[in-house]
Structure 1
Amino acid sequence: MAPPLQISLHIGAVAVGIAQAALDDVVALAKAGKKRLYARHTLRESPQFQHRLGRAQSDLRAARALLQELSGRFWTTCVEAPDSASGFAPEILSTTAWLVDTAAEVVSACYRASGTSPVRDGSTLQRRFRDIHVLTQHASATDGWFAQAGSTLLGFDFALES
């Protein structure tokens, strides 16, 4: 079971990477002086934009920290006690679902905050928006993993549904 769990962690890492790139995109847009139509201030000067940006960055930092911590524990277990690595399944799968969901929220916040710029063909932010929402459809990111993790907390055996 360790390779599929490792792949799930990779899906989480891709989601975090997409979210970081979206955050970088919107920061660059704001620093370039972007001003939304009819706005009094540039994005960079807008307290509402600054709030959204700060929240998105905090969410992303939390996702990255959780991914690193869980990956480190999983790796150590795979090296030191490989037979017990499958015990990580509920935690890894529910964490991956959370990571992808959180990353999608970060990307969506960046997309909404940047005005009409990302609706244009060729916009990197538009591509990141599409990519993260495609990733939310992956089997490793389904909401059902939360129920599986919750059931194991209640003493039920973990079982992959076929």
Structure 2
Amino acid sequence: MAHTCAEVSDETRTWLERVEKISATLAENRAQAEADRTTSPAVIDALRTQDFHRMWVSRALGGGGVSLRTGSAVLQAIARVDPSAAWQMGVQGAIGRLSDYLPDKVSCRLFCGSRGLVVGGVNPTGAAVRVPGGYRVSGRWAFASGATHASWLVCTATLADGQGVGPAPIRMLCVPSSAVTFVDDWHSLGLRGTGSASFIVDNVVVPESHAVDGSLLRRPPSPRRSRGYAIAYYDFAPFTTAATTIGIAQQALAVFRELAARTVPARSTEALAERATVHATFARATALVRAAELVLADAADQVTTCGEHGGEELSAVVRLAAAAVAENCVQAVTMVHTAAGAAALRSGDALDRCFRDVHTATRHITLATTNFEMVGAHLFGGPLLMRR
């Protein structure tokens, strides 16, 4: 469903034109990416040529520095063609926010001096110990989307500091891909082209300059000339996953509309598109996706306006929006997939891919239904917990 009356900024229009330039390349390589379980170098090169992998890096560091609304629109547009490609660019948007927390010189090395992706694992499944000048890290991390094309991996680890009081400190440590062992274990329901493999790091020393204190990520980075966004890391990341999810749902609606017009069920005399029940289902699904678009846009506006001082109230808005987007989009795609009947059962067909992709995307922690629990407890006057 096109929203032709919506106001689009010049920045958004310019970046959406970049998507148009590579849409054919994305579409041509999508099926092969599913078969290979990783996006082709041709697609990654096309995405990099348009600077999508750096669109949410500060302009002072050579990035695009685009608004949340523009970046969200770009990811939705890419996801309507190839959700796996959009997901990887979204990962770059999230991990790219570390550039506002790392020293400028290191940020330039990772995000300007290197053409490769910067991906990794944000779940602290590794361990780090202090050594002179930095940390020694070991561990295994899963779901490193885009790992095949990465130059750097972010390893999130608990720090053994010997204090033994309270939760262990967290560090996000940047390791060159040459120091990493990849595990080919990405066999998924959906988003098959993301190459979200696991990786192992064994006793690698990381300089202090290449580490970020995890406790800093719940508040905006300190002001400096090169700072791209006065937005906390955890208030930014959900926009990348939510935008891709919306793009998948938008594509499902478009695919279903075309499928319904040409599909006549067995022993029937009319196409699906002629049935009143299908009309109602399609309208309800469209309303759910439209609501997801609006709630995400509203959250983006609030973060843009209040990111510096929004605190827990703003974080709650973001997390509630992300969880609502996930719930709405899963429901909408499932509704049209069910309404399509047997026509939706062909593996590899467009509606089948949307169904698999949306159910896979929404398993991400930023979109998890547990966010409703955390935000709900906060609305009743409690603190906003990350998890219980």
TM-score by length of 2: 0.39
- How far the C-alpha of 1:111 sits from its partner, in A, is 0.7
What is the distance in 2 between the residues matched to 1:95 and 1:83?
19
- How far the C-alpha of 1:85 sits from its partner, in A, is 5.0
SS in structure 2 opposite 1:157? coil
What is the distance in 2 between the residues matched to 1:35 and 1:107?
20
Residue of 226, 233, 254 corresponding to 1:3: 233
Residue of 12, 15, 21 corresponding to 2:251: 21
What is the distance in 2 between the residues matched to 1:161 and 1:113?
36
One-letter code of the match for 2:295?
L
Answer with 108-117 or 123-132: which moved more. 108-117
Quote the residue 1:159 is aligned against.
385
Pick the structure with more helix per residue: 1
One-letter code of the match for 1:120?
R
Residue of 104, 118, 126 corresponding to 2:344: 118
Pick the structure with more strand per residue: 2
Quote the residue 1:72 is aligned against.
301
What is the distance in 1 between the residues matched to 2:341 and 2:283?
17
Quote the residue 1:36 is aligned against.
265
Any conservation in 1 of the 2:263–2:343 contact (CA below 8 Å)?
Answer: no
Residue of 255, 276, 280 corresponding to 1:47: 276
- Aligned-residue Cα RMSD (Å) equals 1.6
Note the alpha carbon deviations across 1:1-49, whole angstroms, 9 max, x for none: 3222211122111111111100000011123x21111223211111111
- How far the C-alpha of 1:137 sits from its partner, in A, is 1.2
One-letter code of the match for 1:61?
R
Any conservation in 2 of the 1:74–1:85 contact (CA below 8 Å)?
Answer: no
Any conservation in 2 of the 1:117–1:123 contact (CA below 8 Å)?
Answer: no
Note the alpha carbon deviations across 1:131-155, whole angstroms, 9 max, x for none: 1111221111222211211111222
One-letter code of the match for 1:77?
C
* Higher RCO structure (Cα 8 Å, ≥6 apart): 1
What is the distance in 2 between the residues matched to 1:114 and 1:17?
20
SS in structure 1 opposite 2:272? coil
- How far the C-alpha of 1:120 sits from its partner, in A, is 1.2
TM-score by length of 1: 0.89
Quote the residue 1:101 is aligned against.
327
Any conservation in 2 of the 1:60–1:102 contact (CA below 8 Å)?
Answer: yes
Q: Structure 2 stretches of 5 or more lacking a match?
A: 1-217, 219-231
Q: Which protein is bigger by CA-based radius of gyration?
A: 2
Q: Structure 1 stretches of 5 or more lacking a match?
A: none
One-letter code of the match for 1:98?
A
